[in-house]
């Protein structure tokens, strides 16, 4: 297990390194001068030079990348803005705020959105899929399968607005989605995010229902299930003690991918519901040619994806004892 | 774009597992006159859902192709702001004066709020743009995925290792974020900073970017298949008789890979349609005066509280298209690969 973790974490580091380097290179592939932009109209060459120095872009791209990288581990001294502590991702070109702090400010919303909707779509999706597999060929199965097929064809930028139109502006059942920190007021936290959670889960649930169903159906036709049944174990016992373990593998994989993507910022969801999370930050950063912010969000998003990949593989081994991590 | 991109990856995962179980219909068991293709076609024709959804999908492609013709017969175009010539079409708040978004015998799907363009032709041309981009992206992605996947699988060794790592990295990219970050770079390669970006360039850039991030999963799947096929006797036989690597790849391996390629591309196309619309929705893909599914949804989002009708047309038509295409994909998979379970 330890060897596995060490190897995978090392691999993840390499991937993050490459992704950040690509982002860096991409940014400068378009000729632009961030110093020019923050310098404004009455820009003297001295001013420009000072700004370049402050932003840390007076060096070659490779050196800039190196300093950025070093800053994450050791902190970094920015002439104009003072010292930036250890996980230092630099200062935003656009508003001179520290990148790490800004992302951390936005993080609670994005995490709430991700985990809240994940709880919904995991429970509903897997539950519906299991029910459908149990009642194979019956009405419930057909109903669940059709609904999930429809759900997988829906798009958040359509369903989101339709839901907002009917449930918020017409019927007034929900209030305009908003974010209140959980620690401040749990009731407001739930009521503000309930609509985005539900809409997100409509779309995500479908995949889980379909996959759980097909996996369970496959597992139930395996020999070990027949053996267990022949031995006299009850249907429910076989179903809930053995069959589901075999079926969970691909679902864990899917869940890992989805969670990683959601934490990297549900960009469209946040736009639809006008929520200020990490996803919006990313779009903003690209719009404003804000390299440090763009890098920070990208590395974070990629980090979330890579992290959950590792978690998925570890969980895989826990639920399926046949898999050994080497 | 959370939903489109992850779900684009998710279904790919599903078939990853079902497809290797069935090494293509290479074994025709004495049914002399029936090729595997014929057998699949017979199976497909029996599947009612598949036939109906194929009809719907074909309908969408036909209206996309015939958009100029239909617009001509209908007598309007998607660019003219009809309300500026006839102010009575919009009310004092710039919303359609008639009920249901101004739907009438003259403007079948109503009028766009504010600018007063014709919704019917706008949607028609929008479908044309979106499907065109998605189709081109699918073809390019398949081409790259097939070439890279087969090469890596067939050559093995260092090439395979290298390609495998590139795929790993590409699949860890937060794709929506990179679409957004990548688009300005691709534009920057072709035009100077302050110039206007022509629509054709936007379309080409979109296709390129979608393909760059799309080929990896197909390549990975095909590589796995080729690894299995490479050791089979018929490839051995071809090698012994002195066939060139090109011949082996194109005449021996490729025919055995059509099933996964077709199945994957039926998953890819709707995913690209929704991804393209998502980018247009965020304002980084195709932009306003050009008709597009995503552009329409983005326009609709600006005034959905006042005029939901405008939003319904692009939204519902997209749901119908994607649903029909998904159903078609399932039927095609069942027909080509009857052993797979879903």
Query: Residue A73: how many CA atoms within 13 Å on its side-chain side?
Result: 4
Using the beta-carbon criterion (under 8 Å), do A29 and B189 form an inter-chain contact?
Answer: yes
Option in A26, A152, A268 nearest B2 (CB): A268
Length of chain A: 326
The pLDDT tens digits for A13-66 are 888 888 888 888 877 776 666 666 666 666 777 777 777 776 666 677 788 888
- Which of the pair, B20 or B130, is modelled with greater confidence? B130
pLDDT > 60? residue A317: yes
Hey, are the CB atoms on B173 and A302 less than 8 Å from each other?
Answer: yes
Please state, in angstroms and rounded to a whole number, the distance separating the CA atoms of residues A176 and A164: 8
C-alpha to C-alpha distances, A166 to A113, A170, A195, B212, B307, nearest whole angstrom:
21, 5, 12, 39, 12
What whole-number distance in Å separates Cα of residue B40 and Cα of residue B38? Answer: 5
Chains A and B form CB pairs within 8 A to the count of 159
Which residues make beta-bridge pairs with B111?
A: B118
User: Among A287-291, B98-102, B141-145, whose mean pLDDT is lowest?
Assistant: B98-102
Q: Smallest Cα–Cα separation from B182: which of B159, B158, B153, B202?
A: B202
C-alpha distance from A177 to closest chain B C-alpha (Å): 15
B278 interaction partners in chain A (CB closer than 8 Å): 155, 157, 268
So what's the pLDDT on residue B322?
A: 93
Assign B3 a pLDDT band (cuts: 50, 70, 90).
Answer: very low
Residue B246 burial by CB count (10 A; 0-12/13-18/19+): exposed, middle or buried?
exposed
Over residues A141-152, the pLDDT tens digits come to 888 888 888 888
Predicted confidence (pLDDT) per residue in A245-271, tens digit: 778 878 888 888 888 888 876 888 888
**Contact assignment for B278 to A268 by CB distance below 8 Å:** yes
Tokens linked to A315: 């969980």
**Which A-chain residues 220-259 have CB contacts (< 8 A) with chain B?**
250, 253-254, 257-258
Parallel, antiparallel or unpaired: strands A82-84 and A76-78: antiparallel
The span from the CA of A199 to the CA of A121, in Å, is 10
pLDDT over threshold 50, residue A157:
yes
Our CA-based measurement puts residue A267 at a distance from the nearest CA of chain B, in whole angstroms, of 6
Judge: B311–A162 Cβ closer than 8 Å, yes or no.
Answer: yes
Provide the residue ranges of all domains of chain A, joining segments of one domain with +: 34-88, 100-319
Phi, psi of B97 (to 5 degrees): -75, -40
- Give pLDDT, residue A39: 66
Mean pLDDT of B275-296: 87
B114-118 CB contacts, 8 Å cutoff, 24+ apart: B114/B90, B114/B303, B115/B81, B115/B83, B116/B81, B116/B82, B116/B83, B116/B84, B116/B89, B116/B90, B117/B78, B117/B79, B117/B80, B117/B81, B117/B82, B118/B76, B118/B77, B118/B78, B118/B80, B118/B82
B277 CA to chain A: closest CA distance, Å? 9
Q: Is the pLDDT of residue B71 over 50?
A: yes
Q: What is the pLDDT of residues B174-223, one digit of tens each?
A: 778 888 877 877 877 777 666 677 888 888 888 998 998 889 989 999 99
Domain A100-319 adopts which CATH fold? MetI-like fold (1.10.3720)
Q: What is the pLDDT of residue A81?
A: 65
Q: For residue A21, count CB atoms less than 10 angstroms from its CB and return exposed for 0-12, middle for 13-18, buried for 19 or more.
A: middle
Q: Which CATH class is domain B59-336?
A: mainly alpha
3-class SS of residue B324: helix
Task: Work out the average pLDDT over A301-312.
Answer: 85
Q: What is the pTM of this model?
A: 0.83
A306 with B341: Cβ contact below 8 A: no
Residue % of chain B over a pLDDT of 90? 19
Contacts made by residues A145-150, CB under 8 angstroms, sequence distance 24+: A145/A209, A145/A210, A145/A213, A147/A206, A147/A209, A148/A205, A148/A206, A148/A207, A148/A209, A148/A210, A149/A206, A149/A210, A149/B323, A149/B326, A149/B327, A150/A206, A150/B319, A150/B323
Ranges A63-77, A98-112, A143-157, B124-138: which has the least confidence: A63-77
């Amino acid at each position: 297990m330890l060897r596995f973790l060490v190897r995978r974490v090392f691999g993840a580091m390499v991937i993050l390194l490459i992704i950040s380097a690509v982002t860096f290179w991409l940014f400068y592939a378009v000729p632009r001068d961030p110093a020019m932009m923050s310098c404004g109209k009455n820009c003297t060459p001295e001013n420009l030079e000072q700004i370049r120095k402050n932003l840390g872009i007076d060096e070659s791209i490779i050196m800039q990348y190196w300093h950025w990288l070093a800053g994450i581990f050791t902190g970094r001294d920015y002439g104009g803005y003072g010292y930036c502590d250890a996980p230092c991702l630099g200062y935003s070109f656009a508003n001179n705020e520290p990148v790490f702090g800004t992302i951390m400010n936005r993080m609670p919303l994005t995490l709430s959105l991700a985990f809240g909707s994940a709880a919904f779509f995991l429970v509903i999706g897997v539950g519906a899929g299991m029910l459908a597999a149990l009642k194979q060929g019956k009405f419930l199965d057909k109903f669940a399968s059709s609904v999930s097929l429809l759900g997988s064809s829906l798009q958040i930028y359509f369903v989101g607005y339709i839901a907002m139109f009917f449930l918020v502006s017409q019927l007034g059942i929900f209030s305009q989605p908003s974010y209140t920190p959980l620690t401040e007021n749990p009731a407001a936290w739930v009521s503000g995010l309930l609509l985005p959670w539900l809409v997100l889960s409509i779309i995500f649930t479908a995949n889980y229902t379909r996959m759980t169903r097909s996996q369970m159906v496959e597992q139930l036709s395996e020999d070990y299930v027949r053996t267990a049944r022949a031995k006299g174990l009850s249907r429910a016992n076989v179903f809930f003690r053995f069959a589901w373990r075999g079926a969970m593998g691909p679902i864990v994989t899917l869940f890992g991918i989805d969670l990683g993507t959601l934490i990297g910022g549900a960009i469209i969801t946040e736009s639809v519901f006008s929520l200020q999370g990490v996803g919006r930050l990313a779009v903003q950063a690209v719009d404003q040619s804000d390299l440090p912010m763009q890098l920070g969000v990208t590395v974070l998003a990629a980090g979330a994806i890579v992290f959950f990949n590792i978690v998925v593989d570890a969980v895989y081994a826990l639920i399926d004892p046949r898999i050994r991590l080497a | 774009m959370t939903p489109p991109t992850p779900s684009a990856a998710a279904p790919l995962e599903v078939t990853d597992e079902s497809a290797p179980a069935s090494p293509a219909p290479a074994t025709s068991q004495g049914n002399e006159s029936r090729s595997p293709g014929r057998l699949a076609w017979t199976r497909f024709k029996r599947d009612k859902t598949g036939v109906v959804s194929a009809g719907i999908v074909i309908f969408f492609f036909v209206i996309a192709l015939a958009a100029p013709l239909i617009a001509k017969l209908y007598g309007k175009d998607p660019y003219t702001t009809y309300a500026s010539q006839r102010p009575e079409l919009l009310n004092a708040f710039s919303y359609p004066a008639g009920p249901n978004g101004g739907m009438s015998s003259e403007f079948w799907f109503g009028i766009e709020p504010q600018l007063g363009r014709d919704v019917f032709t706008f949607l028609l041309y929008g479908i044309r743009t979106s499907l065109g981009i998605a189709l081109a992206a699918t073809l390019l992605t398949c081409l790259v995925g097939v070439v890279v996947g087969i090469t890596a699988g067939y050559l093995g060794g260092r090439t395979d290792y290298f390609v495998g790592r590139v795929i790993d990295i590409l699949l860890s990219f937060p794709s929506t974020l990179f679409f957004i970050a990548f688009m300005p770079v691709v534009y920057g390669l072709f035009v100077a900073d302050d110039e206007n970006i022509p629509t054709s360039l936007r379309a080409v850039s979109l296709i390129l970017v979608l393909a760059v991030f799309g080929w990896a999963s197909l390549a990975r799947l095909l590589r796995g298949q080729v690894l299995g096929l490479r050791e089979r006797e018929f490839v051995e036989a071809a090698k012994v008789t002195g066939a060139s690597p090109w011949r082996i790849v194109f005449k021996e391996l490729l025919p055995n890979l059509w099933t996964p390629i077709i199945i994957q591309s039926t998953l890819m196309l709707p995913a690209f349609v929704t991804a393209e619309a998502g980018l247009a929705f965020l304002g980084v893909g195709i932009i306003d005066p050009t008709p597009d599914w995503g552009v329409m949804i983005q326009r609709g989002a600006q005034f959905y509280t006042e005029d939901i009708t405008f939003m319904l047309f692009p939204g519902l038509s997209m749901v119908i298209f994607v649903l029909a295409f998904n159903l078609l994909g399932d039927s095609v998979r069942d027909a080509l690969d009857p052993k797979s379970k879903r």
